[in-house]
């Protein structure tokens, strides 16, 4: 199973990605988490990307693509993965397509998490209070939402055109959203490769 969770910052992608990946027994590849780990460890990549993360700007495609291609080449994701936060731009879509094609694969399903901007701002301000993420201030949140609309939202149409998009209402309690994702995946996933989810 190869899937992607797409949606604005604050839609709850990280939380849902963990639950879905566990149920389908696949690894999550979260570019945001990988970048934050590199920043925390002050690796060469971390030092390069820190200012982008702090500003709420996208890390340049060259850096992001290289990191993801490296991750996708590892054994633990050879038979499936859940991408969280990548691709976020059209060039990243092409990079992912080319990488998977080379391995004889393609994405099976893309789950779009749909949520109102006001709800997102409310959630992210709460996350700022709980976790203290450097990119969760109100200014940066609004900038990240604007960048999402402009650069990432157009990807939804690309995947809809391919017939692999399912959309899920991401408002409300996390458990309800998880259930909606499982329900949406049931049909999509069985259609894509004939297999049943593990849970």
- Residues labelled as active-site residues: 13, 88, 127, 133, 144
- Does residue 52 touch ligand AMP according to CB under 6 A? yes
> Of the candidates 24, 58, 81, 159, which one interacts with ligand AMP according to CB under 6 A?
58
3-state secondary structure string, the chain? CEEEEECCCCCCHHHHHHHHHHHHCCEEEEHHHHHHHHHHCCCHHHHHHHHHHHHCCCCCHHHHHHHHHHHHCCHHHCCCEEEECCCCCHHHHHHHHHHHHHCCCCCCEEEEEECCHHHHHHHHHHHHHHHCCCCCCHHHHHHHHHHHHHHHCHHHHHHHHCCCEEEEECCCCHHHHHHHHHHHHHHHHHHHHCCCCCC
Interface with ligand AMP by CB under 6 A: which range of 27-35, 96-104, 157-165, 184-192? 27-35
Q: How many residues bind ligand AMP (CB under 6 A)?
A: 17
Interface residue with ligand AMP among 38, 64, 95, 178 (CB under 6 A) is: 64
86 contributes a contact to ligand AMP by CB under 6 A: yes
Nearer to ligand AMP, 24 or 35 (CB): 35
Smallest gap from Cβ 194 to ligand AMP, in A, equals 30
| 12 binds ligand AMP, rule: CB under 6 A | no
d(CA 181, CA 131): 25
Q: How far is the CB of 14 from ligand AMP (least distance, A)?
A: 7
Nearer to ligand AMP, 32 or 189 (CB): 32
Q: Applying CB under 6 A, does 85 fall inside the site for ligand AMP?
A: yes
Contact between residue 13 and residue 85 where contact means Cβ atoms under 8 Å apart: yes
For residue 195, the number of C-alpha atoms closer than 13 Å in the C-beta half-sphere is 11
Among candidates 15, 59, 40, which has minimal Cα distance to 176?
A: 15
Asked whether position 50 contacts ligand AMP by CB under 6 A, the answer is: no
Q: Among 2, 19, 71, 88, which residue sits at the site for ligand AMP (rule: CB under 6 A)?
A: 88
Among residues 11, 59, 72, 141, which is the contact residue for ligand AMP, using CB under 6 A?
59
Q: List residues binding ligand AMP (CB under 6 A).
A: 9, 31-32, 35, 52-53, 56-59, 64, 85-86, 88, 92, 135, 144
């Amino acid at each position: 199973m190869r899937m992607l969770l797409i949606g604005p910052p604050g839609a709850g992608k990280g939380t849902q990605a963990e639950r879905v990946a566990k149920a389908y027994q696949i690894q999550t590849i979260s570019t945001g988490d990988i970048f934050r780990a590199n920043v925390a460890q002050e690796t060469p990549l971390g030092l390069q990307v820190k200012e982008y993360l702090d500003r709420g700007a996208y890390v340049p495609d060259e850096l992001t693509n290289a990191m993801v291609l490296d991750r996708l080449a590892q054994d633990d994701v050879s038979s499936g993965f859940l991408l969280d936060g990548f691709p976020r731009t059209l060039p990243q879509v092409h990079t992912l397509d080319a990488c998977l094609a080379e391995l004889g694969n393609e994405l099976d399903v893309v789950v779009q998490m749909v949520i109102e901007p006001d709800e997102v701002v409310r959630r992210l301000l709460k996350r700022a209070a709980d976790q203290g993420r450097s990119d969760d201030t109100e200014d940066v949140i609004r900038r990240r939402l604007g960048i999402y609309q402009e650069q990432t939202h157009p990807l939804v149409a690309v995947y809809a055109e391919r017939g692999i998009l399912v959309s899920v209402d991401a408002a409300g309690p996390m458990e309800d959203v998880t259930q909606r994702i499982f329900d949406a995946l049931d049909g999509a996933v069985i259609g894509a490769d004939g297999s049943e989810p593990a849970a």
